[in-house]
Amino acid sequence: MEIIQEKIDLLLKIGLGPLTDLLLAKYTCIALQRLGGNKARVKGSLSNDSIRLPMSHPIFHRLKQMIEFQTSSQEWFAVAEQAINTIYLLGEHPDILCGEIIKHKTASVFDLKIPKADDMDIDDIDGDNFLPDQEQFMAHPLQLSQLIFIVGHVAIKHIVHLEFIEDEWKRRKAEAESKDTEKSTKNPGDDELEQVAGTTEDEFGEAVAHIREKELLFGENSLLTVFGQLISNICANNKTYNHHTLQICATLALAKLMCVSSEFCENNLQLLFTILERSNEPTIRSNIIIALGDMTVCFNNIIDENINYLYKRLADSDNLVKKNTLMVLTHLILNGMIKVKGQLGEMAKCLEDEDQRISDLARLFFTELASKDNAVYNNLPDIISNLSSGDNPVNEESFKKIMKFLFDFIEKDKHTENVVEKLCQRFKNLDDRRQWRNIAYCLSLLPYKSERIIKKLLEGMSHYQDKLHENDVHKAFTDIITKARSIKPQKPEMKQLIDEYESKIEEFRQRSQE
């Protein structure tokens, strides 16, 4: 941090100088972000080494120039993203500067005849008359893409900024209460904070929530209000606005705006799901999946009702989409943000994915899940059904490998007894020989360490005795007998029970063959 402070002039001159090297500019922005401190932030507190700079600082002038730089390079998007990150991390009033940038870019894209874009009023770009026609769209598709990208990223960073203001307000309030003295120093954001002096924590939190929910995307004087309709329209009319980069940017921006307000999220959720289902562009599908993870964190009840749209992408034709889906679902499930309702079979299929990264991620997920309150045990019946008889069952070899991995997590005798009982009952009324083999194989994977477990097998024999003519089914039960006999030392009662069970297996095997 000290090195960066000492070399700011050099960074601005070389790193953000004549913009011929966009990659250098991107990493210069990342370096400048170190000025904001690099200590881990704790909720409700601010790192002591964090700083905020006045908007007149030369850094912001150069960052603004960089974002407004005219280029057709795809690298611009990564540069603009980091530049906006830097503005919001270091600026006292980042929203003011970003508002100016959006106005400038808007005037340029739509050829608005306004003497000075800084003075542009919200009415000058009224939402009802702002949707570009085909001619305007074809004139500057890449510039329009850049404008939309800026709007989406500013919106998401402003949410983080509001959280920063709320956390800082709480920190100072707690600090003031503990010291019972007035603050001796003035830090950035004091103006806003002083306006709510004496406000309770709940009131302040409600005010911030109201701004996020109702003002940013629906307020009469909010610049972002105009763009929600524009972006939705471009996404909904992808054949009219059929520019590749524009559609990627518009969908990403739409998803970011949906993380701002639950109302906006609900209004556009079906559109987003339609794009997710129909888009031929893997980047769009991948971006939507990641955004849906963020939306689930923000508005859990809205997304939880539609969570199957996420699970479907585990069968996506593109490996990156599939991997991102698996990572998002892993995060949401392990952190308790969504409840599993029988969809774990789709996650289990990833254990046998051809892509090693995906199968490794799936293994990590189930290993972590197994440490949480019997989660694997509780979902085994649904997983077995999904893999053997669902809409898209796996082949028998894959089924065996997946089950062998999952059954290793069943260790408690009580759980083993219950699984044996439930699996035996599954044989009842089943005509599908493949399912006979699958259930019998699953039974053979369990540890048979006690008399109670063998008794459960005997009690359930009426459900599978007529299936023993199937060779693989018979072999699974003889494997169980072999496994049970291998437990040492063995009590006489246990040996007698195993002998009885073996005798019955062979008796019913012969009967069913006849």
State the CB neighbour count (10 A cutoff) for residue 342. 14
Would you state the structure tokens that stand for residue 373, as one six-digit string?
A: 């309150």
Give 134's Cβ-side CA count (13 Å radius). Answer: 5
What is the distance between the terminal CA atoms of the chain, rounded to a whole angstrom? Answer: 83
- Compute CA distances 476 → 267, 442, 457, whole Å: 54, 9, 12
- Interatomic CA distance for residues 220 and 204, integer angstroms: 22
- Interatomic CA distance for residues 64 and 47, integer angstroms: 26
- Compute CA distances 256 → 29, 265, 298, whole Å: 22, 10, 11
Q: pLDDT tens, 296-344?
A: 998 988 888 889 999 999 999 999 999 999 999 999 999 989 888 788 9
- CB distance 298 to 263 below 8 Å: no
According to the model, what pLDDT value does residue 9 have? Answer: 77
Residue 217 backbone dihedrals phi, psi, to 5 degrees: -110, -5
Would you state the structure tokens that stand for residue 77, as one six-digit string?
A: 């998007």
Would you state the structure tokens that stand for residue 86, as one six-digit string?
A: 């830097």
What DSSP character marks residue 140? Answer: S
According to the model, what pLDDT value does residue 37 have? Answer: 66
Ordered by start, the domain boundaries in the chain are 410-513
- Compute CA distances 172 → 85, 162, 201, whole Å: 24, 15, 11
Cα torsion for 195, 201, 206, 207, to the nearest 10°? 10
Would you state the structure tokens that stand for residue 244, as one six-digit string?
A: 């590749």
According to the model, what pLDDT value does residue 19 have? Answer: 65
Residue 91 backbone dihedrals phi, psi, to 5 degrees: -85, 140
- CB distance 141 to 246 below 8 Å: yes
Helix (H, G, I), strand (E, B) or coil at 305: coil
Q: How many helices (H) and strands (E) does the chain have?
A: 27, 0
Per-residue pLDDT of the chain (514 residues; tens, 9 = 90+): 566 666 777 788 887 877 668 888 899 889 888 887 654 444 444 444 567 889 999 999 999 999 998 889 999 999 999 999 999 999 999 999 999 999 999 988 887 655 454 555 555 555 445 555 556 666 779 999 999 999 999 999 999 999 888 888 888 777 777 775 554 444 444 554 455 445 677 788 888 888 888 888 888 888 888 899 999 999 999 888 889 999 999 999 999 999 999 999 999 999 999 999 999 999 999 999 999 999 999 898 888 888 999 999 999 999 999 999 999 999 999 998 988 878 899 999 999 999 999 999 999 999 999 988 788 998 998 999 899 887 788 999 999 999 999 999 998 889 999 999 999 999 988 888 999 999 999 999 999 988 999 999 999 999 999 999 999 999 999 999 999 998 888 888 899 999 999 999 999 888 877 7
Give 12's Cβ-side CA count (13 Å radius). Answer: 14
Percentage of residues in the chain with pLDDT exceeding 90? 54
Would you state the structure tokens that stand for residue 344, as one six-digit string?
A: 């774990």
- Interatomic CA distance for residues 214 and 358, integer angstroms: 40
- Interatomic CA distance for residues 134 and 278, integer angstroms: 23
